[in-house]
């Protein structure tokens, strides 16, 4: 348990979700939304930036501590609003520096968030939904079914909690989280209205100041939503491709039947064209033994991606119970990478981090109260859920 965790658990001002309360949770509101909120109260817009600094940079959730606001305003805020952060039910730190949190959401399900340090970078992998409604055949989140979208407060709350676990919790001084990726549980583009304000807060200078180049939304390829994303933000984009042709991708990523590869690549191209700066798409490719890991697949991938400025992230499959797919040998992974490198691509292999705490990519399972009954087809939820340990 970290010192911060002790502080948080002893700090009675930190409050957790209670569905019975109807106050506005200011944690998940972007600066623009807060400006509208304050103007409606007859206050000046600059209050939004003030409040964001308190909440996100200093970690203050108690209005009474916000000393640059008048007592009258603080009382008013207390009567109509609140700052509620997710409840941590499990926290683990791996020997390699990886950290993982399991957070309970209102309704009883839980989600996972992982922090992965790498040289000077610290990447936080956040969840956007409880479970996922898209049933990719190699994904443990997908196999657990779907419960609901996370609110913007529940999404940004993951970063709020991670930021508090470093240094003295003052984000303006201690920037341990330099990158954020939406590669935890869920399909972010199916929770657009909550993901976009959460991204705005992540990038906001008065909050976390994460650069748009270091904030990546990962999607399984929902073409119309990629276009919509490009209209409202300029975060970086990662595509979960996993196959170089439609027949194979139809099996691995079933949403491909609706939005085939050609349309997806065209949407990526449009997204890049709309950006104010020169950037590349990240192509994620989970390597599964004997399924998509052959040299022929790599060559097909090279030809497919030729027109698209991109880098490729190879993810050796992370096994999970009741699934027959296997992780390829290290040689097979290197062989695949070599074909891509020789064709001029930057192709990195995502080293499995945090294996000892089950924090590796694709092993984020949380605990989903499945509403789709999909999980019943595969495995009882309890069997894939890590033992929940209350650490405070």
Query: Contact region for ligand SAH (CB under 6 A) — 70-78, 87-95, 133-141, 156-164?
Result: 133-141
Map the footprint of ligand SAH across residues 356-375, applying CB under 6 A: 361-362
- Closest-CA residue to 123 (of 175, 190, 45, 51): 175
Minimum Å distance from CB 293 to ligand SF4? 17
CB of 143 to ligand SAH, least distance (A): 9
Please report how close the Cβ of residue 245 comes to ligand SAH at its closest, in angstroms. 17
Contacts of residue 297, Cβ cutoff 8 Å, sequence gap at least 6 = 243, 244, 248, 336
Q: Tokens 């008065």 — which residue?
A: 206
Q: Which of residues 203-232 bind ligand SAH (CB under 6 A)?
A: 218-220
Q: Which residues bind ligand SF4 (CB under 6 A)?
A: 132, 134, 136, 139, 141-142, 186-187, 220, 240
Q: State the catalytic residue, choosing from 125, 132, 199, 361.
A: 361
Among 17, 123, 149, 318, binds ligand SAH (CB under 6 A): 318
At 268 the three-state DSSP class reads helix
Closest CA to 66 of 86, 43, 88: 43
Q: Does residue 139 interact with ligand SAH by CB under 6 A? A: yes
Q: Residue 21: exposed, middle, or buried by beta-carbon count in 10 A (0-12, 13-18, 19+)?
A: exposed
Residue 25 touches ligand SAH, criterion: CB under 6 A: no
Tell the smallest beta-carbon distance from residue 128 to ligand SAH (Å).
Answer: 7
The residue nearest ligand SF4 at its CB is 142
Count Cα atoms within 13 angstroms, Cβ side, for 348: 9
Angle subtended at Cα 176 by Cα 175 and Cα 181, rounded to the nearest 5 degrees: 105
Alpha carbon 170 to its chain centroid, in Å, reads 22
Q: With left for phi above 0 and alpha for psi between -120 and 50, is residue 298 left, alpha or beta?
A: alpha
Q: Which of 238, 350, 260, 254 is nearest to 304 (CA)?
A: 260
Residue 284 binds ligand SAH (CB under 6 A): yes
Could you give the CA distance from residue 55 to residue 27 in angstroms, rounded to a whole number?
7
57 binds, among ligand SF4, ligand SAH, none (CB under 5 to 8 A by kind): none
| Phi, psi dihedrals of residue 232, rounded to the nearest 5° | -115, -15
Instruction: Pick between residue 166 and residue 271 the one whose CB is nearest to ligand SF4.
Output: 271
Task: For ligand SF4, give the closer residue by CB, 192 or 335.
Answer: 192
Strands (E), the chain: 24-25, 81-82, 87-93, 99-104, 110-118, 121-125, 129-131, 146-149, 179-182, 215-219, 236-240, 281-287, 310-316, 347-349
CB 137 to ligand SF4: min, Å: 9
Which residue has its beta carbon closest to ligand SAH?
362
361 is catalytic: yes
Could you tell me how many residues of this chain bind ligand SAH (CB under 6 A)?
18
Active site residue 125: no
286, interface contact from ligand SF4, ligand SAH, none, CB < 5-8 Å by kind: ligand SAH
- Residues 43, 112, 187, 284: which is the catalytic one? 112
Q: Which is nearer to ligand SAH, 82 or 284 (CB)?
A: 284
Cα of first residue to Cα of last residue in the chain, in angstroms, is 7
Residue identified by tokens 């033992």 is 387
282 binds ligand SAH (CB under 6 A): no
Give the footprint of ligand SAH on this chain (CB under 6 A).
Answer: 138-140, 182-183, 187, 218-220, 240, 284, 286, 315, 317-318, 320, 361-362
Q: Which residues are catalytic?
A: 112, 361
């Amino acid at each position: 348990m970290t010192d911060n965790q002790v502080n948080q658990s002893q700090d009675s001002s930190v409050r957790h979700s209670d569905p019975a309360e109807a106050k506005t949770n200011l944690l998940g509101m972007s600066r623009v939304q807060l400006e509208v909120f304050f103007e409606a109260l007859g206050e000046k817009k600059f209050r939004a930036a003030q409040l964001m600094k308190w909440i996100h940079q200093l970690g203050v959730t108690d209005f009474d501590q916000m000393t640059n606001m008048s007592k009258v305003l603080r009382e008013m805020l207390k009567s109509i609003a609140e700052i509620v952060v997710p409840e941590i039910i499990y926290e683990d730190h791996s020997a390699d520096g990886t950290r993982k949190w399991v957070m309970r959401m209102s309704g009883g399900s839980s989600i996972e968030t992982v922090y992965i340090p790498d040289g000077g970078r610290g990447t936080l992998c956040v969840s956007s939904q409880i479970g996922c409604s898209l049933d990719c055949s190699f994904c443990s989140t997908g196999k657990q079914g779907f419960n609901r979208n996370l609110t913007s407060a529940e999404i940004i709350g993951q970063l709020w909690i991670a930021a508090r676990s470093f240094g003295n919790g003052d984000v303006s001084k201690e920037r341990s989280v330099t990158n954020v990726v939406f590669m935890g549980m869920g399909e972010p583009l199916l929770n657009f209205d909550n993901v976009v304000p959460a991204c705005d807060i992540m990038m906001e200078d008065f909050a976390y100041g994460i650069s748009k180049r270091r904030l990546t939304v990962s999607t399984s390829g929902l073409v119309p939503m990629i276009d919509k994303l490009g209209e409202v933000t300029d975060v970086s984009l990662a595509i979960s491709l996993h196959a170089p042709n439609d027949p194979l991708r139809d099996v691995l990523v079933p949403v491909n039947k609706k939005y085939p590869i050609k349309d997806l690549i065209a949407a990526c191209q449009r997204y890049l064209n709309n950006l104010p700066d020169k950037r590349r798409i990240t192509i994620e490719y989970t390597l599964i033994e004997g399924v998509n890991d052959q040299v022929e697949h790599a060559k097909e991938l090279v030809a497919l991606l030729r027109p698209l400025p991109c880098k490729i992230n190879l993810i050796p499959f992370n096994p999970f119970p009741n699934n027959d797919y296997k992780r390829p040998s290290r040689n097979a992974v290197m062989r695949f990478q070599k074909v891509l490198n020789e064709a001029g691509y930057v192709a990195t292999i995502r080293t499995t981090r945090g294996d000892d705490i089950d924090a590796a990519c694709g092993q984020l399972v949380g605990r989903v109260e499945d509403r789709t009954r999909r999980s019943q087809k595969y495995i009882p939820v309890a069997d894939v859920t890590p033992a929940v340990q209350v650490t405070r």
